[in-house]
Amino acid sequence: MNALPYRHTKIVFTIGPATNSVQMLSDLFSSGVDVCRFNMAHADHDWTREAILNIRAASENVGRKVALMMDVKGPEIRTGPLDEPFELERDQQFDFFLEREREPVRTGICGVRVNYPSLANDVTEGDTILVDSGLIRLRVDKVTETHIRCTVRIGGTLGSRRHINLPGVHVNLPALTAKDREDIEIGIENEIDFFALSFVRSPDDLDILRRFIEERGSKAKIIAKIEDQSAISNLEDIVKASDGLMVARGDLGIEIPFETLPLVQRRAVRTCQRLGKPVIVATHMLESMITNPLPTRAEVTDIANAVFEQADCVMLSGETTVGKYPVECVEVMNRIIDSVEAQSDRRSNDTFALKSPKALMLKSAMYLSDELPNSVIMVFTRSGYLARTLSALRPRKSPIFAFTDMPDVFQNLLMYWGVEPFQMDFANDPEDTVQEAFAQLKSRGWVESRSHVVVVSNVLAGNRVVDTIQYRSIP
């Protein structure tokens, strides 16, 4: 198969009803997506198993694999079920009932139950409650053991099972719900590569998930989603405890003042780069293309800004789950990324602290490659460390071609900025392995004869294995 044009920034898409067919997935893979996300807030287990089978069939069709990421729903607060919606008006009083079986009230002071009976322990008089992505805003007037009485500040139509946000309020919900644990079991059973945990508030939330998957023998990596003020306050520690970060701008933009969202995004990206962790910029990137074949100019600029910031990934959500133009969305992202990456004066990442001689060696390999015209970096790795570190350093010009004989490492590296992974067996003779890698790059159109290559690997010197940088030329 011929290679797609080289792209440093990776594309995550979310699978849904609009894309869960072998043909559509084949089209998406051919268009260049790198990671497939499952949103478990909307997926049941039978559907998830079927989708994974379709993904693997599509990969066989086009000869291109993608990484699998399961987005775990996490704890959330929702209103109860309604047969008919409420029409809430400004200054109207409204109750949220805390009893589990309480029916909606439609006369006098109206109300609906919530799925979190301990809400009374978390909110106080004067707090704000946002419903349905912040479209409805209420102020807390009184808190009792049975209900929370509010005044409507911004009205609207309140439908069934609407999501509730509590900006600035620390909520004492568990990191993993019973549903999350069942979903994760399905993910482990089907060899999911990444688990993204929603509503991470502290490193402890990630530790709970990590213990859960490790006890079950999974090597999956953990992505922390930052979605509220607690996550921002603990950002540094959360990044350190995770394997990567997702800037989930949907709920985050509700939980914090919207004008601060670009600042938080930039801080999150820079924190990840300083600590050498991948970062995904997500939500509403091409929202208008759910129904329209072309993006808005603001959306083009939004994606371009994420590429200028050198985020590892940009993500599609509703655009590819229920949208009319999923393949077109990927093509639009590709065009924007290619345009920005071709024109921008890329900078290497000098904020990433290198603490080992091996890491400093990799920095030297990057500098050598950046000084050579039309050069590439080739690494051979069984843990993924060499490729991940080079990705974090952000070479200014050079692609990073990572060869591994470990399937889980190959899948993991699909998410990293600038890395194009290859899975192949390593020969007993290191030179045979290098020549086979050269042949694969040439056959796929990634390099040409006499291209400059900086090779990072280890070789046997006597009875010791030593790390090396080699300058080579494609034969």
Active site residues: 37, 78, 225, 283
What proportions of the chain, in percent to the nearest 5, are helix, strand and coil?
Answer: 35, 25, 40
Render the burial of 384-413: b for 16+ CB within 10 Å, e for the rest. bebbbbbbbbbbebbbbbbbbebeebbbbb
Distance, CA of 451 to CA of 441 (rounded, Å): 11
Residue with tokens 């709970």: 208
Helix (H) or strand (E) holding 367: helix 357-371
The H-assigned helical ranges of 216-323 are 229-233, 235-241, 249-255, 261-275, 297-308, 318-321
Q: Which residues of 163-191 are buried (b: 16+ CB within 10 A; e: fewer)?
A: bbbbbebebebebbeeebeebbebbbebe
| CB count in 10 Å sphere of residue 150 | 26
Cβ atoms of 404 and 380 within 8 Å: the answer is yes
CA dist 97 and 216 (Å) reads 39
Running DSSP on this structure, what letter comes out for residue 114? B
CA distances from 224 to 241, 344, 434 (A): 9, 29, 36
CB 127 within 8 A of CB 171: no
CA torsion sign for 387, 362, 458, 431 is positive
